[in-house]
Amino acid sequence: MNEQEILAYLERGDALTIDMTEAVRRGRSELLYAAPDAVLLKTRGWLMLLACDTVEAGVRALAHRDASCDSIVAHSEAARDAVKAVIPSFTHVNPCWQAYYAGKELRPVPDVCEVRPFRREDILFLLEHYDVIRSPEYFEERIDENELFAGYRDGKLCAFIGFHDDGSGGMLEVLPEYRRLGIGSALEVFLHNEALRRGWTPYGQIFVGNEASRKLQQSLDMVMSDGEIYWMFEDRE
């Protein structure tokens, strides 16, 4: 399959496979396997992305997996079950929704905070207020690639947002005392605009059950996936 055929297959999934579509479009992925019923990608050397029509197709794709990758995102229940069958050690499963912004025009950012590139000297602030990722080196990389941004109100650092290394938008956090002021929405619009300036489709992922985040994405006219993707890896505790 050529790139056009791979994109045509992935675009069938719309929001559910937007991360895979964008990884190909942005040149952020290596193709491990492609067939009319399955595609397996590797991004940034540590993450695999699998879309497939059936469990059997997923199993065939995973025969071409990169053993150095320690995580995989399965883009359907069939893909999830294929991973369980082929890599039984990947027992940690995090279901997420995906969402993307289909607009092409920049939108005005609400004037509720000032947004600046995040500073290396404030990484401790990230570690104090964001518990999903605990690696200072990860944040340093995001800062060096100009993919992490800070929100200031009255001159005080109060929020942050950025692009993860897989290309998704996320890491959104607003300090409790600054919530309900529209800062989260402002940062999201800012990040969408930044993605559009780079020629990207803005997208992100939401943990299933996080209804507050889901409602925020819907309020920003994000297209939501009907199904779920599954982040899968070995339990690390």
Q: What pLDDT digit, counting tens, does each position of 206-224 carry?
A: 999 999 889 989 999 999 9
Q: Do residues 74 and 23 share a domain? A: yes
Q: Do residues 94 and 125 share a domain? A: no
Question: What distance lies between CA 78 and its chain's CA centroid?
Answer: 21
Mean pLDDT of 171-198: 96
Residue with tokens 């695999």: 48
Q: Do residues 132 and 159 share a domain? A: yes
Q: Do residues 87 and 169 share a domain? A: no
Phi, psi of 49, rounded to the nearest 5 degrees: -125, 125
The one-letter amino acid at 108: P
Angstrom distance (rounded) from CA 71 to CA 187: 28
**Average pLDDT value over all residues in the chain:** 95
Angstrom distance (rounded) from CA 201 to CA 17: 12
Residue with tokens 């060096």: 144
Give the model confidence (pLDDT) of 191-202 as tens digits.
999 999 999 999
- 31: exposed, middle or buried (C-beta count within 10 Å: 0-12, 13-18, 19+)? middle
Mean pLDDT of 173-200: 96
User: Does residue 21 register a pLDDT over 90?
Assistant: yes
Query: Please, which pLDDT band fits residue 203 given cuts at 50, 70 and 90?
Result: very high
**Helix locations, the chain, DSSP H:** 3-11, 18-25, 55-62, 77-86, 123-129, 136-144, 183-197, 211-219
Q: Do residues 137 and 187 share a domain? A: yes
How far CA 6 is from CA of 22, 33, 40, in Å, comes to 12, 10, 10
Q: What is the pLDDT of residue 46?
A: 85
Query: Please, which pLDDT band fits residue 166 given cuts at 50, 70 and 90?
Result: confident
Q: Do residues 72 and 153 share a domain? A: no
Question: What distance lies between CA 217 and its chain's CA centroid?
Answer: 13
Please indicate, yes or no, if residue 24 is contained in any of the structural domains.
yes
Length, in residues, of the chain: 237
Q: What is the pLDDT of residue 237?
A: 58
The one-letter amino acid at 223: V
Please indicate, yes or no, if residue 104 is contained in any of the structural domains.
no
Angstrom distance (rounded) from CA 149 to CA 70: 28
Rounded percentage of the chain residues whose pLDDT exceeds 70: 99
Q: What is the pLDDT of residue 230?
A: 98
> At how many degrees (to 10) do helices 55-62 and 77-86 cross?
50
- What is the domain extent for residue 149? 114-200
Angstrom distance (rounded) from CA 151 to CA 116: 7
| CATH number of the domain within which 151 lies | 3.40.630.30
Query: Please, which pLDDT band fits residue 66 given cuts at 50, 70 and 90?
Result: very high
Q: What is the pLDDT of residue 120?
A: 96
Q: What is the pLDDT of residue 212?
A: 87
Q: How many domains does the chain have?
A: 2
Q: What is the pLDDT of residue 205?
A: 95
Q: Do residues 171 and 195 share a domain? A: yes
The one-letter amino acid at 142: R
Q: What pTM, to 2 d.p., does this model score?
A: 0.91
Please indicate, yes or no, if residue 222 is contained in any of the structural domains.
no
Please indicate, yes or no, if residue 185 is contained in any of the structural domains.
yes
Please indicate, yes or no, if residue 77 is contained in any of the structural domains.
yes
Give the model confidence (pLDDT) of 78-133 as tens digits.
999 999 999 999 999 999 999 999 999 999 999 999 999 999 999 999 999 998 88
Q: Do residues 44 and 120 share a domain? A: no
Give exposure, 83-100, as e/b (b: 16+ Cβ within 10 Å): bbebbeebeeeebbbbbb
Q: Do residues 78 and 18 share a domain? A: yes
